[in-house]
């Protein structure tokens, strides 16, 4: 089993429909290829951890690197693992729009921080994923 984590920036003007397309494609591909993980999209940035068979994870990452919906893709950790850290996870996504309140945003951030604090990473890659997520959602 293999894991990697990366970060990237969404292209300017990426629409909510494009994010939904990413979600649909990822769920279908990942399920059929034995890949699990977690994708965080916040402040126009992505952080994702992927885990599964080495060949399939690397194949997926190559597709991500070539995806025109984001730029500055940077792999920052990879490991061999004996067990999954995110066996049933999906994507954390918060859409800020005109109807959003500061309270909703704060709750989203609080929930992510709680998940990070309660997780028990079994690899350096999982630990770095949570650290990067906390940095991303910290107040600018």
CATH code of residue 95: 3.30.70.100
**Which domain, by its residues, includes 75?**
2-137
φ, ψ (nearest 5 deg) of residue 78 = -150, 150
Give the global pTM: 0.87
Q: Name which residue leads in pLDDT, 104 or 76.
A: 76
Q: What is the pLDDT of residues 82-104, one digit of tens each?
A: 999 988 876 666 666 666 788 88
Across 43-136, the runs of DSSP E, i.e. the strands, are 45-52, 70-80, 91-93
Q: Rounded mean pLDDT of 53-61?
A: 95
Residue 140's pLDDT band (cuts 50, 70, 90):
low
Count structural domains, the chain. Answer: 1
């Amino acid at each position: 089993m293999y894991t990697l984590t990366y970060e990237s920036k969404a292209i300017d003007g990426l629409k909510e429909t494009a994010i939904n397309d990413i979600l649909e494609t990822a769920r279908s591909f990942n399920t059929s290829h034995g890949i699990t993980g977690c994708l965080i999209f916040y402040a126009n940035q992505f952080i994702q951890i992927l885990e599964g068979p080495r060949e399939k994870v690397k194949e997926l990452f190559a597709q991500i690197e070539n995806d025109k919906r984001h730029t500055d893709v940077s792999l920052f950790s990879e490991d061999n693992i004996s067990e999954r850290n995110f066996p049933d996870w999906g994507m954390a996504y918060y859409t800020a729009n005109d109807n959003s309140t500061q309270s909703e945003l704060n709750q989203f951030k609080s929930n992510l921080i709680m998940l990070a604090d309660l997780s028990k990473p079994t690899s350096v890659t999982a630990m770095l994923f949570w650290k990067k997520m906390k940095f991303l959602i910290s107040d600018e």
